Amino acid sequence: MQIQFHGAAGGVTGSRHLLVVGGKRILLDCGLFQGRRKESIKLNHQFGFEPASVDAVVLSHAHIDHSGALPNLVRHGYEGPIHATFATADLLTYMLRDSAHIQESDVRYLNRRLRKKGKPEVEPLYTMEDAEDTLAQVEGHRYYHPIPILPGIEVTFYDAGHILGSAVVQVDITEGNEKRTLVFSGDLGRRNVPILRDPETPPHADVFLIESTYGDRVHLPIEEVDDKLAEIINRVFKRRGKLVIPAFSVGRTQEIVYAIARLMRSGTIPACCVYEDSPLAVNVTDVFARHPETYDREIRKILRDTGDPFGFELIDYVRSVEESKALNLKKGPFIVLSASGMMEAGRILHHAKNSIENPRNCLLFVGYQAAHTLGRRILEGADEVRIFGEEHPVRAEVEKMNEFSAHADRNELLAWVRGFKQPPKRAFVVHGEPDQSRPLAERLRREAGIQTVHVPSIHEEESI
């Protein structure tokens, strides 16, 4: 049995791991690369394997860096099933169409420029048609029920507590008399956060793949999160500024909205205008509301008590472009949440452009910012940034709260590994930049009793 690491190896995006068992090929995740433009375009156009040769795809969750290359896989000949949890399958209908829309409109914009220069036009990575074909291949499943995906191969989903529908994937492989279990962590969430259940560890693994986004960092305790958020909001409001929060449409957006609603209800922050400006996030919040089977106890209680955990009464959900543009002209104080979370595309760029030069305003980062994204440059203290081709000095305050990140920190990752009844013999540390993956690998060896730990590089193949 072999495993090949075709993405999220040496970085956090483009999650793609290919398992080869007795001539059968199972692809775990099929994500898009994001970050440095030229490099990610190149990586997104090549798989490192033949798409038509894959026998089954298993998806850990719906985030685009885990699912966004699926339409390209289908465009290049993949006709098999795409296994996911029910909630992930539901989310994909919005995420993949949204991604196809972005691919098509990016290329339209690029081709206009190429035509002017007399250069040949380019094709989008995939189209809406490809996204629709892909959706027809998606099969939703329950958690905890073994799914026979190929002869001798079963898959079971456990809750990863990362976003709605997210799963830890257990793959049970029977070859002759030998039975082996591989566990893929997908992205692991934090413990004790509202809404989602805690990440679960399957009982057993011979070998596992673990994410390492925050492999060497420790987050603030959950209890201090509200205080810190209230402090930032009150500070910005006192100077009548705008609080701009780049947020992934899926992930902690719902949790932040939930926290803001909680602070308003308790009077810790003044009743204020909050806008969620992202059509995708609005749809995703609807999907959330449709999947109570994924909620934890706290949200069930709030649902019973108020019937409105996501603050629909308190928050304005912005759908149309006109409403979004009107927000650009509006004076503070107010809060706006908008996608994309790493400021690579979408309406957040308009809000950033309109608020970044005024020291009254504040940009609050609540999610992981991958290397070479606009978000990362601002977070690292750039004096000037380029938005829509124009330089803008960064004068607004810049704040960050990793606590809303949908990713477990170092201690939570180790706790997840300790959840196996016996330490697995072998681990691969993926989905992290080297300064996070390597220290985690070291700790897995020293503190969690894992004999062999390896941090694979991209397109590497290992026998397991």
Q: In terms of CB distance, is 63 or 347 closer to Zn ion?
A: 63
Q: In terms of CB distance, is 187 or 276 closer to Zn ion?
A: 187
Sequential DSSP letters for 53-113: G--EEE-S---HHHHTTHHHHHHTT--S-EEEEHHHHHHHHHHHHHHHHHHHHHHHHHHHH
Fill in the amino acid letter for 431: H
Q: State how far the Cα of 394 lies from the Cα of 378, in Å rounded to an integer.
A: 8
According to DSSP, residue 50 is labeled: -
Cβ 58 to Zn ion shortest distance, Å:
15
Contacting Zn ion (CB under 5 A), which of 29, 98, 172, 187? 187
User: Count residues contacting Zn ion (CB under 5 A)?
Assistant: 2
Cβ 194 to Zn ion shortest distance, Å:
18
Nearest alpha-carbon partner for 200 in 161, 154, 173: 161
Query: Among residue numbers 61 through 90, which ones bind Zn ion (CB under 5 A)?
Result: 63
Q: In terms of CB distance, is 187 or 255 closer to Zn ion?
A: 187
Q: In terms of CB distance, is 12 or 352 closer to Zn ion?
A: 12
Cβ 196 to Zn ion shortest distance, Å:
12
Token couple for 246: 């780049």
The number of C-alpha atoms within 13 Å of 30 and in the hemisphere containing its C-beta is 29
Cβ 61 to Zn ion shortest distance, Å:
6
Q: State how far the Cα of 196 lies from the Cα of 256, in Å rounded to an integer.
A: 13
Task: Single out the segment in contact with Zn ion by CB under 5 A; choices: 82-90, 130-138, 180-188, 380-388.
Answer: 180-188
Token couple for 25: 């090929």
Residue 29 within binding range of Zn ion, rule CB under 5 A: no
Cβ 361 to Zn ion shortest distance, Å:
28
According to DSSP, residue 293 is labeled: G
Task: Single out the segment in contact with Zn ion by CB under 5 A; choices: 103-111, 138-146, 187-195, 381-389.
Answer: 187-195
Q: In terms of CB distance, is 274 or 408 closer to Zn ion?
A: 408
Q: In terms of CB distance, is 6 or 63 closer to Zn ion?
A: 63
Q: State how far the Cα of 269 lies from the Cα of 78, in Å rounded to an integer.
A: 51
Q: State how far the Cα of 139 lies from the Cα of 74, in Å rounded to an integer.
A: 15
| Site residues for Zn ion per CB under 5 A | 63, 187
